[in-house]
Amino acid sequence: MLVKNAKTFNLGLLLLVSFAIVFYVIMFLPLFDGKTTIIYADEMFNSLAKGSTNFIPKYMEKSEKFVGKALEITLKMGNAAEAEKAAVLFGKNGSTATVAGETLTLAGGDYGKTMLAAEHDADLMFNNRGDEVAAKYGFNEKEVMYIWHSAFKSLGKELEKQERFEGSIFLGEVVTKVIEPGYNFYGIKPEKVKDRAALLVAFLVFYVIYTLWFGYSIYEIFNGIGLTMTKSKAKKE
């Protein structure tokens, strides 16, 4: 018979079945405000992350030192449609933008003021005021942030080619610390860790217990069928 130790095997099987039941409850039953546990936890962690990652005001302050620097450059966008929409963004914020296929040529703009405009848009998005962003440019607010992201990525590469490393490095930080959070956290309510500390600890403790639960169930089943790991004996000469 495959089972060598029925007691151990049955314990492992019981643990595995109970694990599966709890897994079903977590994944499919709406226990929290009509949401499943996994969705509720995901939304909570996103809210906590948003509540502790707002670097936008700091970068808006830092961007002031770039005000007055000319923005005269040619960018390669992903496609012609992106170039057209990027032209709208730069055009609304002080640049003369000319499009030729995927190529976007900017003239007469201010590098610092353009960054500040994009950061202001990201701040509106971060504070769930995307309707103001959409009204300013005439298309979807999340697409606005996507175009800023693509345009700034291209701009950063061109600045590197011109060996304007200070500007390209800072622009890279603006993309990751300002533009991306504005896009990713749009529509999420920010919360502080201290306000959800008890539930946060409960979720983390449950996660540890649940992981061990599955591990022990497999361990006991393997023990029950005689699959164990033992230290090999030293070879005698």
Question: What confidence tens digit (pLDDT) does each residue in 101-149 have?
Answer: 999 999 999 999 999 999 999 999 999 999 999 999 999 999 999 999 9
Q: What's the pLDDT at 227? A: 80
Q: Assign residue 91 a region (left: φ > 0; alpha: ψ between -120 and 50; beta: otherwise).
A: alpha
Q: Is residue 17 domain-shared with residue 111, that is, in the same domain?
A: no
Alpha helix stretches (DSSP H) within the chain: 6-28, 37-51, 56-63, 80-92, 111-126, 130-137, 141-161, 165-174, 180-184, 197-224
Is 204 a domain residue? yes
Within this chain, do residues 32 and 63 fall inside the same structural domain, yes or no? no
- pLDDT at residue 157 greater than cutoff 80: yes
Q: Is the pLDDT of residue 3 over 90?
A: no
Query: Residue 4 pLDDT more than 90?
Result: no
**How many domains does the chain contain in total?**
2
User: What's the whole-number mean pLDDT along residues 174-194?
Assistant: 96
Looking at residue 127, what is its pLDDT? Answer: 97
Residues 46 and 68 in one domain: no
In the chain, the percentage of residues whose pLDDT exceeds 90 is 86
Domain extent at residue 35 = 6-50+191-224
